[in-house]
Amino acid sequence: MKASNHYAGIRSAWVEIDHTQLIKNFTLINADTPAHLKKLCVVKDQAYGHGAVVVAQAAADAGYDYLAVETIDEAIELREADISLPILIFGEVNDAEFAACLAYQITCCVNDIDKAVRFNQFAKAYVAQASSVAASSLQKTMAGQSTINVHIEIDTGMSRWGVRWDEALPIIEYIANECEYLHIEGIMSHFAMSDEADKTYANTQHSRFVTVIDAIAQTDIQIELVHMSNTGGLLDLPHAHFTMIRSGILHLGVYPSLVCKRIEGLAPVMSVKASIPALRQLREGDRVGYGMHFTATKPMLIAILPIGYGDGYPRVRNEGYVLIHGQRCPVVGGNAMDATMVDVSHLPDVAIGDEVVLMGGQGEEWIDPRDLVKWKKTVCYEILTGWRARLPRRYV
Ligand SMILES: *Cc1c(COP(=O)(O)O)cnc(C)c1O
């Protein structure tokens, strides 16, 4: 999220990223995580809106081993910002994206034989052309042959990406034995529900994954990176850590659910703030906002905030509050794409330019992403990623 011009960031509503807290969170997680584990930092969707390059750099500084994103553009953005950690793309890449993965040294998943055959051909051509320039990313096998790292995703019960656990071995063997330009660096799976108190299904998925690992152990195929745990698994399922964990939300200081274990001292990195551009006196009977959802029953003072659901704030009707002067100020009426009105009648000294906190802390008060979860009727992942790019990011 680079400043696109000289005036970027001067808008009077913005997302604030607390870089010090981000580094502190990484340090606390490192202290809590077994030292032998490798760690992958998930920075998809701009690291859930925090800025992928900033979070990836902090992860690299904190000793993380790998990064992951969801799209080829996200991966290329990191490379162009000189991030040199290995990067994995989750999901499925198409043939054109595979070519880009080779050019930018990005790892992807290969989950079926047809794709393995085609990618092996691309890899062969790339290796032939690259060997003349001695590309540093090429993995050398024992025989001195150059290969391209890939991971295989095992679907253990989400019916999303990957090959079914009970059909996986033939594809793994095919890639290992027949695709001489591909190297299986990693094997992964993903939990459908790892952060709730009931771990029954998570353990079913874990057992299915273990059957694949056990079957591989009966062959001479060796896979260095075995990974299944997201934040929920990292915190609650130590038997599912394998050789690497993948965390996306935890270092941002937000827990995936209310029941997932606490690491003392973790705190959210992201706040959303504004400064008051306008105040209005209401008379008895005045209406506020679209749909006439609020009528003043007495004289009131309201602040008009320059932020609405078009910025990612929930579309609310007389629900929710913001913080001004360390006090809760309730939303009045229905907010708009670009504006939200709040009652400030109880703040005698309120003035244009005063700071407003829509998510985060002010004085003794705190608006947690989980409060917005209630107002937006969603999960905290969508609250974090939902703040739109038109809100400038300020790093403090
Ligand atoms: C998003 C994602 C993660 C990170 O999940 P968190 O709960 O944010 O830690 C891990 N693995 C995969 C495959 C993902 O898509």
230 alpha carbon – ligand 1 mean position (Å)? 5
Specify the pLDDT at position 54.
Answer: 98
User: Best substitution site from 48, 151, 230, 384 to test ligand 1's pocket, by max atoms within 8 Å of Cβ?
Assistant: 230
* Phi and psi based region of residue 95 (left: phi greater than 0; alpha: psi -120 to 50; beta: remaining): alpha
Q: Are strands 163-164 and 146-155 parallel, antiparallel or unpaired?
A: parallel
How far is Cα 315 from Cα 317, in angstroms, rounded to an integer?
A: 7
Instruction: Read off φ and ψ for residue 127, nearest 5 degrees.
Output: -60, -40
Sole residue written with tokens 């209630």? 374
Q: Hey, CA dihedral for 239, 241, 246, 251, is it positive or negative?
A: positive
| pTM of structure | 0.94
Do 58 and 28 meet the contact criterion of CB atoms below 8 Å apart? no
Residue 188 Cα: closest atom of ligand 1? 13
Supply 142's token pair. Answer: 């024992």
| Residue 229 CA, ligand 1 centroid: distance in Å | 8
Going by the DSSP 8-state scheme, the letter that residue 339 receives in this structure is -
The C-alpha atoms of residue 369 and residue 378 are separated, in whole angstroms, by: 11
Opening angle at CA 61, ends 191 and 190, nearest 5: 5
Stretch (H or E) spanning 27: helix 19-32
pLDDT computed for residue 5 by the predictor: 60
Query: What is residue 123's predicted lDDT score, i.e. its pLDDT?
Result: 95
DSSP 110-124: --SHHHHHHHHHHHH
Q: Which atom, in ligand 1's list, is nearest to the CA of 161?
A: 13
Q: What pLDDT, on the 0 to 100 scale, is given for residue 113?
A: 97
Residues with CB under 6 A from ligand 1: 42, 44, 90, 190, 230-231, 246-250, 256
Q: Which residue, 343, 351, 337, 348, is CA-closest to 278? A: 351
Please give the number of the atom of ligand 1 that sits closest to the Cα of 190: 13
DSSP bridge pairs for 274: 13, 356
Greatest CA span in the chain, whole angstroms? Answer: 85
pLDDT at 136: 52
- Cα of 206 vs centre of ligand 1, distance in Å, is 16
Query: In this structure, what token pair is assigned to residue 254?
Result: 């937000």
Q: Is-catalytic flag, 374?
A: no
| Residue 14 near residue 307 (C-beta atoms within 8 A) | no
Q: d(Cα 346, Cα 89) in Å, to the nearest integer? A: 51
The answer to whether 290 is a known catalytic residue is yes
- For 45-97, the DSSP string reads HHHHHT-HHHHHHHHHHTT--EEEESSHHHHHHHHHTT--S-EEE-S---HHH
CA 353 to chain centre: 32
| Contact status, residue 78 vs residue 56, Cβ threshold 8 Å | yes
Kindly state the tokens that stand for 74: 């996200």
List the chain residues with pLDDT less than 70: 1-6, 8, 131-145
The residue written with tokens 């030292």 in the block is: 35
Contact residues for 48 (Cβ-Cβ < 8 A; gap 6+): 248, 249, 252, 381, 384, 385
- Asked if residues 373 and 379 have their Cβ atoms less than 8 Å apart, the reply is yes
Task: Please identify which of the residues 104, 174, 201, 290 carries the catalytic annotation.
Answer: 290
**What is the whole-number distance in angstroms between the Cα of residue 248 and the centre of ligand 1?**
5
| Residues 379, 366 contacting (CB under 8 angstroms) | no
Residue nearest to atom 13 of ligand 1 (CA): 190
Q: Which domains are delineated in the chain?
A: 19-252 (3.20.20.10), 270-395 (2.40.37.10)
pLDDT of residue 3: 46
Q: For ligand 1, atom 1, name the residue with the nearest CA.
A: 248
Pick the catalytic residue: 38, 39, 44, 376? Answer: 44
CA of 127 to the centre of ligand 1 (A): 31
Nearest residue (by CA) to ligand 1, atom 15, is 90
